[in-house]
Structure 1
């Protein structure tokens, strides 16, 4: 059921000077929470370029122009460091990455309404527009969603659109916290949001970038080369502040790992690698990295990913399907997003080996799904249908 707000429509105020920002932060420090959102660009850079920052308290709604000449955003650290003021975001990861890059530390404490909405039964990764509509009944204007926020001056319509991202978020936050307290799920949200306080989970680790490429091989030497060139690309992209795919595309990394070029000519034959790149300083750096990876002793090569190791003992598709039905049924019964409880990979791993430790075998997830999933794997329960609902039947 949608909840309407009795709050008067706020008049957003644009901040373009450091002194005004500092005075505004002083006022926000008296709040119990503030809602925060950002508008940024990332198409041409590795790091997101902050263009506009929106913050709302109970009364004030401000739009901080990060592109204003001479503005210093440092006063924001006093607000972001204030333990007595909760910083409320929706889908916080990219916003937090911006602040981590700008200030070298994360805002705290943080509350992510997307995570809270998943716990509260609003579905998997619900968007801001949909959540606002469900909670408040307000329809968000989407006309400026793809605007270029670096262009100045910003129009009144753009400023109104940006302000809406934090004004309605206040009502969403208050409704969600009230619901979670009533249903005694506040601790569930706290456990899920703990990751938002860990910088290492928000900034890409160069040494782990090879894992996301999902190379279809059990050859550890090839994986060693892939790990090395993927780490080089990530560090270079970060240093040069350009998108990693513009530095070197994923398919090029995979081909380099498979063919292990040792000369500029061989590197230039890799799909997506230009002769200019191959014969330049970057090409030589790649060749050096390949050579170093080929010289690594076997015990320093990366292990085959667990999922690849498990391919020889593939889980029963029927058992996996039953576990997914159980997950959907238990999530529906408890009104929580299935994706928050267990991933498809987790279910595959359980079906392959019920004795291995998995995230949903502890805490509130175990209560909702984990213990029943183990019972299903052991043949202790079966699934049936009663009055249009999936039910558990003891065996």
Structure 2
């Protein structure tokens, strides 16, 4: 493979010419560098692209540059867009262009299918498949600072350069194993724009709560939803607005004025009296006004039925056994939530009972639940044995 020197793209004309060439490639490797420490939304700084010969770093913050040609390239369905651990990159492009890149391929997901373990790191994958080495010297660079140094540009370009060989070797391996279709099924979820939308009303679910008080839970939900919307509005990280641990503290206090809000640890009088503080107090007041009949129930109150812990443990042994046998990451086959749901109700819709997962694990899981098979330790392996009536 002939490789030209890294090209730093700083104008729309240069970007358009690059994307025109890459638009004729079978696949293009893609990566981004961004900053998010001080903002809610990621601040796109660089986009790295590589094809058969081109290796380029696009300065997304160059004066006057229009990234529309990049958006057109990402929308081409006949060019595979190869990423590693693509979720944050895809989120950036969805925000910028209003659409998820067409024809995605994530080498981290593909590596899980190929037996490299859960969420294998890029450095480890490059080393395992190509023998290459990733220089980490500029991993924590401020990518928004200008001018960029040659070392920074070379570091950024190295990710997409190695990614070409990783993609080719992974796809060859998966083709031999007959698992390319498995990867395609996984990519369908990553290609769904809904996967990247943050619903403020569900923001409370990421919090660790210890209350069964329905009124307090309603206030927690209101505060979490307010925080998400307010962080978006002012474009700062949600934790800089109100920290996770402060949410239940505010809910427990349920303040109705700025003076009371300022008594919460870490909440200043200036914040409480300002626009954000006043809108927070309004959200709390609305939650306090909810009728008793409309109050939410905690997960512990809703989930009265519980799966047998012993059955869950047995299913997890089966999961690990079949994953080991097929050389695939267990978490890709079924999550802990999938296993617990299966143990609770094997007739309910479950990802573990769909597609290749059902063939590899789901059918045996159902048979185990029905008592048709058992698990046995033979040597240093767990084996599946039929149960004779």
Shift of 1:313: 4.5
Please list the CA deviations of residues 152-204 of structure 1 after superposition, one character each: whole Å capped at 9, or x if unmatched.
Answer: 23222222211110011111112222222222222211111112222221132
Report the Cα offset of residue 212 of structure 1.
1.0
Shift of 1:308: 5.9
The 5 Å alignment of 1:30-69 reads: 30-69=24-63
**Helix, strand or coil: the match of 2:44?**
strand
Q: TM-score, normalised by structure 2?
A: 0.94
1:309 lines up with 2:302 in the alignment? yes
**Residue of structure 1 aligned with 2:254, choices 260, 267, 274:** 260
Superimposed CA distance per residue, residues 257-316 of structure 1 (whole angstroms, 9 cap, x where no aligned partner): 2332222222122222222212222222111111112222455444433x6633x54444
Equivalent of 1:365, from 357, 364, 386?
Answer: 357
Specify whether residues 335 and 36 from structure 1 end up closer, same or farther in structure 2 by C-alpha distance, changes over 3 A only. Answer: same
Q: Across the two proteins, how many residue pairs are aligned to each other? A: 387
Instruction: Give the match's secondary structure for 1:227.
Output: helix
Aligned residue in 2 for 1:4: none
Alignment of 1:72-221 (within 5 A): 72-221=66-215
SS in 1 for 2:245: helix
Instruction: Give the aligned partner of residue 325 of structure 2.
Output: 333
How far apart in 1 are the matches of 2:210 and 2:61? 44
What residue is the counterpart of 1:378 in the other structure? 370
Q: Measure how far apart 1:319 and its partner are.
A: 2.8
Aligned pairs for 1:284-295 (under 5 A) are 284-295=278-289
1:58-103: CA deviations, max 9, x gaps?
Answer: 1111111112222221221110111111111111110011111222
Q: Distance in 1 between matches of 2:370 and 2:266?
A: 50
Deviation readout 1:326-380 (Å, 9 max, x if unpaired): 1111001111111111112222333344443321022211111112222223333
Which stretch shows the higher mean deviation, 204-213 or 264-273? 264-273
- Pick aligned residue for 1:14 from 4, 8, 15: 8
Structure 2: which 5+ runs fail to align?
Answer: none
- Find the residue that maps to 2:31 and give its secondary structure: strand
Q: 1: distance between equivalents of 2:301 and 2:149? A: 52
SS in 2 for 1:261: coil
1:239 maps to 2:223: no
Take 2:147 and 2:278, find their aligned partners in 1: how far apart are those partners? 45
Which of 59, 71, 82 is the equivalent residue of 2:65? 71
Does structure 1 conserve the Cα–Cα contact (< 8 Å) formed by 2:230 and 2:276? no
Secondary structure of 2:68's counterpart equals coil
Task: Give the counterpart of 1:390 among 367, 370, 382.
Answer: 382
Q: Check if 1:320 corresponds to 2:312.
A: yes
CA contact (8 A) 2:2 2:53 kept: no
CA distance in 2, matches of 1:167, 1:282: 45
Aligned to 1:343: 335
Q: Does 2:242 correspond to 1:248? A: yes
Counterparts of 2:231 and 2:72, CA distance in 1: 31
**Structure 2 SS opposite 1:75:** helix
Residue aligned with 2:105, SS: strand
Provide the rounded CA distance (Å) in 1 between the counterparts of 2:91 and 2:349: 30
The verdict on how the C-alpha distance between 1:364 and 1:130 changes in structure 2, with shifts beyond 3 A counting, is same
1:91 aligned counterpart, secondary structure: coil
Give the alignment's TM-score, normalised by structure 1: 0.92
The separation in 2 between residues aligned to 1:72 and 1:380, in whole angstroms, is: 62
SS in 2 for 1:174: helix
Question: 3-state DSSP class of the match of 2:39?
Answer: coil
Alpha-carbon distance in structure 2 between the residues aligned to 1:18 and 1:41: 22
